[in-house]
């Protein structure tokens, strides 16, 4: 199994942005744009990870702190495709081009997603986040873009590289996470402030009443994602 983290970063959202996937210090890649959104960075990180490993038959465990990406792949994409890449309210799905490319890369692949909380010291997630943010910062300053070695000699064999990337006692030594199709079964209140399925009914307005604690959590998670609370909620919905 290949264990890799994928993350994106946008300064301003939209603004200078970067993406990165990380297996080890010898096996990672990054890129970005002068202006993009955080969700575009998150999606591209996963897309480029699948492209980089397309020549391998190993199962891919993707550690990701974006529930937007995980839900898009495991919950919403099938419905969006049936509706012609439109949401239940008829509005076009955002980031369709990236989602279609990711959908094509997923075909025939063995993979799992594992949600990890961002910005809490998870070693793989932090490594990917640091590299994605470094690209965003480079675009903001006009400096050289740190693109990484890619899937070079340091990545082989895949299983050894993945194991070496995590210290003992970390997520790699824990019991295997469930397959992507079962990811929703393990969601807890602590794993997400809101975790909506793509709605089937036609609706246009959603009203929410939050306690002071819930509002604080929303603001903290939005700040960690580099978004306003409103943008963060729209991404979840």
Catalytically annotated residue among 8, 18, 31, 41: 8
For the question of residue 41 being annotated catalytic, the response is no
**Catalytic pick from 41, 42, 148, 226?**
42
Is 197 catalytic? The answer is no
Out of 48, 105, 114, 129, the active site residue is 129
- For residue 151 the two structure tokens come to 């899937």
Catalytic residue among 7, 48, 105, 114: 7
Which are the contacts of 212, defined by CB distance < 8 A and separation ≥ 6?
none
Phi, then psi, of 89 in degrees rounded to 5: -85, 5
Q: Of 49, 5, 68, which is closest to residue 225 (Cα–Cα)?
A: 68
95-to-41, 47, 84, 100, 122 alpha-carbon distances in Å: 11, 12, 14, 9, 28
Residue with tokens 């675009």: 139
Place of tokens 């809101």: 194
Nearest to 30 by CA among 129, 141, 162, 140: 129
Annotated active-site residue 119? The verdict is yes
90 flagged as catalytic: no
Please tell me which residue in 18, 31, 65, 235 is annotated as part of the active site: 65
129 carries an active-site annotation: yes
Q: How many CB atoms lie within 10 A of CB 156?
A: 12
User: Which of the residues 79, 119, 198, 215 is marked catalytic?
Assistant: 119
Instruction: Name residues whose C-beta falls within 8 Å of residue 83's C-beta, 6 or more positions apart in sequence.
Output: none
- Which positions are annotated as active-site residues? 7-8, 42, 65, 119, 129
């Amino acid at each position: 199994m290949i264990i890799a983290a994928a993350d994106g970063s946008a300064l301003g959202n939209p603004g200078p942005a970067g993406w990165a996937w990380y297996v080890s210090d010898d096996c990672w890649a990054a890129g970005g744009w002068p202006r993009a959104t955080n969700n575009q960075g998150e999606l591209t990180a996963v897309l480029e990870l699948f492209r980089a490993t397309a020549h391998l038959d190993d199962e891919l465990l993707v550690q990701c702190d974006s529930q937007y990406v995980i839900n898009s792949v495991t919950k919403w994409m099938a419905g969006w495709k049936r509706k012609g890449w439109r949401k239940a309210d008829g509005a076009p799905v955002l980031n369709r081009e990236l989602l279609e490319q990711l959908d094509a890369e997923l075909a025939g692949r063995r993979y799992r997603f594992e949600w990890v909380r961002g910005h809490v010291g998870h070693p793989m997630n932090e490594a990917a986040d640091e590299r994605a943010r470094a690209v965003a910062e480079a675009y903001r300053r006009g400096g050289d873009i740190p693109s990484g070695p890619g899937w070079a000699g340091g990545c082989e064999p895949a299983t050894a590289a993945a194991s070496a990337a995590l210290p003992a006692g970390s997520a790699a030594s824990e019991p295997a996470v469930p397959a992507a199709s079962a990811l929703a079964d393990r969601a807890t209140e602590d794993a997400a402030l809101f975790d909506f399925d793509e709605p089937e009914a036609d609706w246009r307005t959603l009203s929410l009443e939050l306690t002071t604690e819930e509002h604080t959590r929303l603001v903290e998670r939005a700040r960690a994602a580099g978004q306003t609370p409103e943008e963060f909620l729209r991404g979840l919905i």
